[in-house]
Structure 1
Amino acid sequence: MKKRILYVEDDRQIGSWVTEHLSGCGYEVDWLTDGSPLTVHLEETLVGEGTDKRGCDLVILDVMLPGLDGFSLGRRVKEAHPDLPVLMLSARTAIEDKLQGLQFADDYLTKPFHPDELAARVEVLMRRFGKLEEEALHLKHLQVYGEAERIVDSRTGEDIRLTGKQHQIFQYFLRHRNRILTKEQLYEGVWQEPFLEGDKTLMVHIRYLREKLEQDPGQPEIIETIRGIGYRVRA
């Protein structure tokens, strides 16, 4: 069952791409543009009966909202549901604002932010509060636990050890699984610097990664090559 996030953001452009990205990461996102119905909406998800009780696993709040601000909403949520993780989003970067938010919230992320960082922080909170079960993601003969923190070869039961950069590349693939990624997207997403045409660094790392992960590195089935475009990991 997908984990469910309640997200309050009045900026429709930001709200749209955050919702789209988190949905692409496998979450069910309920996006509200106004915080006033949040407490009622939250009670309905947590206290509903039978099939109506869909559950809520995490709340994301923008600070600057019409009407009741995110700080006030966040305090109400944590007072009523202390075991529900709350993540604050804000353009306020002053240390005083961060400290104010962290008096009750479990994390505070300032704008602008990269959507992958938001997804990573959401996952950390989910794990901290026991919202995510350590179920293996099955990729052919591999069993992947916790976003590639542990990879097991099901044929032998042995762990597959990756270098730091190999781990980062594979983790990036997993966060964007089933999507075709260009070399530029992969390089810039992992190295956090512009891709230079003709640079073979990424290809070398993927070759070594395939040697560890694939049954036949010459005929890869996990990290697929999409000719003329880039790569894809399907799950």
Structure 2
Amino acid sequence: MRSLPARRIAGIAAVAASSVLALAAPAFAHVTVQPGSAQQGGYSAVAFRVPNENDNAATVKLEVSLPMDHPMASVRTEPVPGWTATLEKSKLDKPLKSHGQDINEAVSKITWTANDGTKLGPGQFLDFRVSLGALPADTDKLTFKALQTYDNGDVVRWIEEAKDGQPEPAKPAPVLTLTPAAKPADGASPAAADHHAGDAAGGDQAAAKSDDSDSTARTLGVVGIVVGVVGAALGVAGLRRRSSGSAS
């Protein structure tokens, strides 16, 4: 049986490595909500994670529209150095009840604009953090449509909604999955339940850090697979050369 030439083995290794990386890349390509889930009825701190996908331009503005079919009474942004956040409010058809008061308008859009001298450049990403609440209890997800503007005038519209049984759209809108709130343990006092609800934002921040760690672990795992494939291929090539030398 004729052995494979070293160049051919190296070529196979390169194709395998690029295929692994291609499978891993899409996870980092979209504007997303981090962490991807939160409890219904509570308050949560989330981040809109924005990657710069253009090799020849920088991101200078992000616009996020909040779902007005499930408005939230409290929306607050965390300062981002070099960026200015602007909140727009809209009138509600039906007032919200919050702490015994009627809320007649809610934040419908958040716009982050880069200040002079600030840009999100190629190969970079940035988290735009927001505190939201109270999250609705009558839906299992919130969809946030986003527009990403580059300094060359290009606008990427992250507004497509995924449909069951169909492939993910090319420019999906960021989605926050809502899970049922955990019921207090038997015998727990209402005050204890309120305390746990008040800690929801802190828990979501910890979950965000955990998500970052998971992403790092997945990336390192992919790199390990690539290194293993290339190393195995080079090892086989070396054995082939030794065998050929001994036979001669």
Band the TM-score falls in, shorter-chain normalisation: under 0.3
* Higher RCO (CA-CA < 8 Å; seq separation 6+): 2
More strand per residue: 2
